[in-house]
Amino acid sequence: MNGVENRTETDCLFCRWIREGRHVQTCGSAAAFKDGYPVTDGHLLVVPLRHAQNWFAMTDSELRDADALIRLLAETIRKADPLVSGFNIGTNIGESAGQTVFHAHIHLIPRRAGDSENPRGGIRGVIDGKRCY
C-alpha cells in the first residue's frame, strides 16, 4: 500500500465533494456525482457517503443503497436521452486496477450506438488487447 492509498477523509476528493454538496442525487448512504473526466456524456460516479477505501470496504447497506441509486440513475438517464442503449458499470480497486481516488466509487457510463468503433468485449478493454475475443 502506498501513501496515496492511505489518505484520510480530510484530504479525499470525494469526501470534499460530499461536504460541498456537489452530488446530483442521493439514496440513503450513497451519492452520485458527475465524473470529472467523463468517458461519455452522462458518466456518473456513485460513492458511499462514508469514507470507504474501495468497494470491498463498503457495508452491505452501502452496497444496497449504491445499487438502488445506480438503477434510479440509469432509468433517469434513459428517459432523458433516448439514444442511450446500454451502460458500463464498474469499479477500480487498487492502484494496479487503475484506482486513482481511494474512496470507493462505481462508474455508471451511459453508452450509445456508435460511440465506439467496436464495443464488443466492453469491460475486458481494461487490459490492452483483451477486449476483442
Active-site annotation, residues: 105
What is the rounded CA–CA span in Å between residue 12 and residue 75? Answer: 29
Q: Quick one: CA dihedral 28, 25, 92, 81, positive or negative?
A: positive
- Residue 13: what residue type? L
What is the rounded CA–CA span in Å between residue 110 and residue 87? Answer: 5
